[in-house]
Structure 1
Amino acid sequence: MTSATAMTTALPPEQRPPLMRLAREVAFETGTRLFEEGRRADRFWIVRTGTVALDLHVPGRRPAVIETLGHGELVGWSWHFPPYLWHLGAEATSPVRAWEFDAGSVRAMCAADPEFGRAIATWVGRVAAQRLHASRVRLLDLYAPYGSGGPA
């Protein structure tokens, strides 16, 4: 996790309480699919404990794990951008406790309070950029002739 993507450092302190008022505590057992690529993105989570793997469907193969998320990290960013469809899949790789948020309620708060909306958009944008970079690196590692070119 990078400090730029953890909710506790990415959102200004005054913007955290309004978001957390919408939180609902949930738990997932190991192996539970939180969402599937291409399906409707109507909620998101912040991990409290445990780990969640983000994966990408690869025809004829097992899903490629792109990144593993843990404490304080945002699971799901597709809820923030139309057409609100998941770009990846997600599965609990250990027992997970998380805060769950209804995407429509958070988007409504963003529309009603431009400062809150800007803070959320900046946070989610940073997460999306970081996840896209992680996806690129992982796919290069898996499929490029010489990997991502990083140090061995």
Structure 2
Amino acid sequence: MTTTTGFLAGLTPPHRGELLALGGTVSFPADSRLFEEGQPADRFWLLTSGSVALDIHVSGRPAPIIETLGPGDLLGWSWLFPPYRWHLGARALSPVACDEFEVRAVRARCDADPAFGYDLARAVAAVVGQRLKATRMRLLDVYGPPREEAR
């Protein structure tokens, strides 16, 4: 069962329970691709064990890892915002166990209970902000001007 740390800590206890009731447990072996940038985002996961690398396609180069996620982290937010396509790719770095959520059921719950939808959207938005910051920092590391050596 998923703990109340990380992403779930951003939800009220009743909404946390409602969300978890919509999910099911799945696992992925190490080195499996969970999704590719640009593909339809039709599900998301809450990691319970293992680690997942988020990466970004860069033409002519290996995909740089933007961030590494672990237990308690939300994997996937693109499902909440049109056009519902992944903004990054994801690969399991180790065996991963997680709660998986099919987005049609979650969106239907959000529509039926606006308070639940608002609480969930706020928690996802906090993750989006953190991921955008991590992406910007990583891209500056990869493509930014070289740092001058301390003299």
TM bin (shorter chain):
over 0.9
Letter paired with 1:62: P
Give the secondary structure class of the aligned counterpart of 1:85: coil
Give the drift of 1:9. 1.2
Q: How far apart, CA to CA, are the structure 2 residues paired with 1:76 and 1:44?
A: 5
Taking the TM superposition and a 5 Å limit, the aligned residue runs for 1:39-118 are: 39-118=39-118
Give the drift of 1:13. 1.0
State the structure with more CA Rg. Answer: 2
User: Is the aligned partner of 1:29 residue 2:26?
Assistant: no
Give the drift of 1:64. 0.8
Pairwise CA RMSD: 1.4
What do the CA deviations read for 1:38-90 (whole angstroms, capped 9, x no partner)?
A: 00000000000000000000111111100000001000000000110000000
Q: How far apart, CA to CA, are the structure 1 residues paired with 2:31 and 2:124?
A: 26
Q: How far apart, CA to CA, are the structure 2 residues paired with 1:21 and 1:14?
A: 11
Identity over the aligned pairs, expressed in percent? 53
**Which sections of structure 1, spanning at least 5 residues, go unmatched?**
none
Give the drift of 1:6. 1.6
Give the secondary structure class of the aligned counterpart of 1:101: strand
Match of 1:136 in 2: 136
Match of 1:12 in 2: 12
Give the secondary structure class of the aligned counterpart of 1:116: helix
Q: How far apart, CA to CA, are the structure 1 residues paired with 2:102 and 2:6?
A: 19
Q: How far apart, CA to CA, are the structure 1 residues paired with 2:13 and 2:99?
A: 18
Letter paired with 1:6: G
Q: TM-score, normalised by structure 2?
A: 0.92
Give the secondary structure class of the aligned counterpart of 1:31: coil
Letter paired with 1:56: I
What do the CA deviations read for 1:106-147 (whole angstroms, capped 9, x no partner)?
A: 011001001100001001111111101100000001110136
Structure 1 runs (4+) deviating above 6 angstroms are none
Number of equivalenced pairs: 144
**Which sections of structure 2, spanning at least 5 residues, go unmatched?**
none
Q: How far apart, CA to CA, are the structure 1 residues paired with 2:31 and 2:108?
A: 32
